[in-house]
């Protein structure tokens, strides 16, 4: 009976640790999406997209590990260190969760629209 209780406690701790890791992964993924969209919006207005991506990353407790612009596509990679409650005692203190996201922006479409209807 005691062995079963100890086993049940270990399973519960594992579920909690992996649940925390899953939540952290989802938060990093959505932060990467938002960082890529923010960078694309800044590039659309001819401003520094890296600064916007860095700001979003730091506000979400992440590190901007990669930033790349190719044509109209911005790719952002974020990472976050996650510590668990129980398993760090056995497999190490920190686990790194990483997510990559891309956003495409259309180049100044509104300028064509304004020129079309403005008085010349």
Band (117; pLDDT cuts 50, 70, 90): low
Averaged over 23-27, what is the pLDDT? 92
Number of domains comprising the chain: 1
Domain containing 55 equals 2-117
The pTM of the full predicted model, rounded to 2 decimals, is 0.76
pLDDT digits (tens, 9 = 90+) for 34-70: 999 999 989 888 888 999 999 999 999 999 999 999 8
DSSP state of 118: S
Residue 65: exposure state from Cβ atoms within 10 A (0-12, 13-18, ≥19): middle
pLDDT at 112 over 70: no
The residue that leads in pLDDT, 56 or 115, is: 56
DSSP assignment of 55-111: HHHHHTT-EEEEEEEETTEEEEEEEEEEE-SSTHHHH-SEEEEEEEEEEE----HHH
């Amino acid at each position: 009976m005691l062995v079963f209780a100890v086993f049940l406690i270990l399973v519960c701790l594992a579920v909690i640790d992996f649940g925390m890791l899953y939540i952290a992964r989802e938060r990093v993924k959505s932060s990467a999406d938002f960082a890529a969209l923010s960078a694309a919006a800044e590039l659309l207005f001819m401003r520094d997209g890296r600064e916007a991506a860095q700001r979003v990353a730091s506000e979400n407790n992440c590190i901007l590990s990669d930033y790349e612009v190719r044509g109209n596509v911005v790719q952002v990679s974020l990472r976050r260190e996650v510590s668990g409650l129980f398993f760090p005692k056995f497999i190490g203190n920190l686990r790194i969760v990483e997510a990559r996201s891309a956003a495409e922006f259309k180049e100044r479409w509104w300028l064509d629209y304004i020129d079309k209807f403005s008085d010349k």
